[in-house]
Amino acid sequence: MSASAAAAEEAGSGFLDHVANVNNAVNGVVWGVPALVLLAFVGILMTVLTKVFQVSHFGHWMKKTIGAVFHDKHVTSHTTDKSISQFQSLCTALAATVGTGNIVGVSGAILMGGPGAVFWMWVMAFLGMMTNYSENVLGIFYRRKNSKGEWSGGAMYYLRDGLGSKKGCKTLGRILAGLFSFFCLVAAFGIGNMTQVNAISGNMQNVFGIPTWVTGAIVMILVGLVVVGGLKRIASVTEKIVPFMVILYMIGTIAIFFINIGQIGSVFSSIFKGAFGMSAAAGGVVGYGMKLAIEWGMKRGVFSNEAGLGSSVMVHSNSNVKEPVKQGMWGIFEVFADTIVVCTLTAFAVLSSGIIDLNTGVLTEAFSSLTKNDLVATVFNKQFGVIGSSFIAISIALFAFSTVLGWSHYGTKACEYLLGEKNTVPYRVIFVLLVFGGAVMGDNLAWDLADTFNGLMMIPNLIGVIALSGVVAKITKNYVDRHLRGIQVEPMYSAFQDVQEEEEAAPPTDEDD
C-alpha cells in the first residue's frame, strides 16, 4: 500500500472514530433512563385513556383489520386518486417495520440483554400498540392534501396544527415539527437505509461469499427503480412482497418451534427469570443483567415496531380511510404482528437452539464468536443445514429491502415538509445513492447511528402525543359511541372543517358499518 493510500485510510478511520464518539455521547442522552421512561409513560397513558382498547376491543380491531382483508373490498381495492388502500398502507408500514429488527435486532437484544430482553420487548409492544394507535389517529385527524392531491400527515403536522393550536404553543409546535422532520430526514438514511443494506450485504457475504460492494450496487439499482415511481409504486411493490416474506419466514420459525417444542418450558422460564434479574443475564451481576434486559429489550422493541417514533403514521396518513380510529386499529395490528408474532418466533428459535446458555444468557463456548448478524442464520443452519442459513440470508434481504422502500417514503414526506415538494426528487436521488454506502459501512456504527436517530425522532413525537392525548381519547369515545354503542353523535373525522365536511359528504363504505 502506498504512503498516500495509507494516510487516506488512516484519515477515514479517524473520521469514523470521531463520528462514533459523538454518536455515543448523543445516544447516551436520547436513550437514557428519562427517554425510556417517557416512552413507557406514553404507552401507559394512552392505554389508560382508551380504556385498554388493545384488550377490551381485541375482537373488533382484529375483525376490522386483518379480518376485513378477506371480505371488505374497500380495504384492499386500489384507489384511482392519490391515496392508497388501507391494506397497502399496512403493507408499506410493515415493510418499514418488519425488517432486520425482527431477525438481527432480536438477536442483538438477546446477546446484549440476555433472554430477559424478550420480555421487555413484549411489554413495549403491548404499550406500543396504543402509542402507534394514537399516532395514526392523530395522523388522520390532522392530515391535509398537498398541491398534487396527496395526503400529507404525520407527527410534524399534528405538532404544528395540533399542539400549535393550543394557547401559547404555536411557536413550540412549529419548532418541534421542524425538529421531528429533520431527525426523520436523517433517520431515513440510518434506520431506513444504511442499517438495512448493511445487514443484507453482511449476510450475502457470509453465506454466499458475495462482496459487499456487489450487493450494494444491485440493491441500489433495485431501490432506485421503485422509489422513482413514488408512493403508488412503493405500495404496489410492498403489498406483494410483505405478505409473501412474512408468511415464508413464519413457516421457517414455526417449523423450528415444533421441532424444539420440548424446550418451551425452559425457554419461557429463562425469559421471565432474566427479565426480573433472577439470573445473571449477559454474564454480569444479577442486577446489572436486569438493567441490560430492560434497556436492550426496550430499544430493540422500538427498533422493531417503531411505535413511538412517529414514522409509520406518515404512510398510514395516505390511506383512503376517513375514520381516524379505523387507521389507528391498523396501527395496533402492525405492532402485534411485528413484535408479538414475528419477534417472538425469532426469539424462540434462538433460545431453543442450544446456542444460548439459558441459565446465564450468553453464547455457549462452541458458538462464542457469533454476532447478531449471523446468530439466526446459524440457528437455521443447525436445524436445516446449508438450506437454513441460505433461507435466512434471503429472508433478511427481502425484509431489509422492503424496509428501505418504506423509509424512502418517510424521508420524502419529511423533506416535503421542510424543503417543499420540489426538493423531494433530489432527496430521493441522495437516498438511493447512499444505499451503496450502507452496504460497505461498519456494522456497529450503522446500528449505533440508527439507535440515535430513533431516539431523536421519538422525543418531539412523544411530546406531541402527550399534549394531544385528550384529543385521541375524544376521537376514540366518539367512534365507540357510534359504531359499538349505537349512539347518534356527529363523527370526528378531521380537525379542519373543510376536510370534515368533505368526508361527511363522501359515499358510505363498508367501514362505516
Q: So what's the pLDDT on residue 83? A: 55
SS3 395: helix
pLDDT for the residue numbered 283:
44
Q: Which helix (H) or strand (E) holds 283?
A: none
Q: How far apart are CA 319 and CA 150, in angstroms?
A: 10
pLDDT tens readout for residues 158-206 = 999 999 999 999 999 999 999 999 988 888 887 778 778 887 887 788 7
* DSSP-based three-state secondary structure for 121: helix
What nine digits make up the cell of 370?
457469533
Structure confidence at residue 443 (pLDDT): 55
CB atoms near residue 473 (< 10 Å):
18
pLDDT attached to residue 282: 44
C-alpha cell read off for 483: 359504531
Q: Which residue positions in the chain have pLDDT lower than 70? A: 1-14, 69-101, 230-233, 235, 278-291, 303-304, 441-447, 450-451, 507-513
**C-alpha to C-alpha distance for 428 and 448, rounded to whole angstroms:** 23
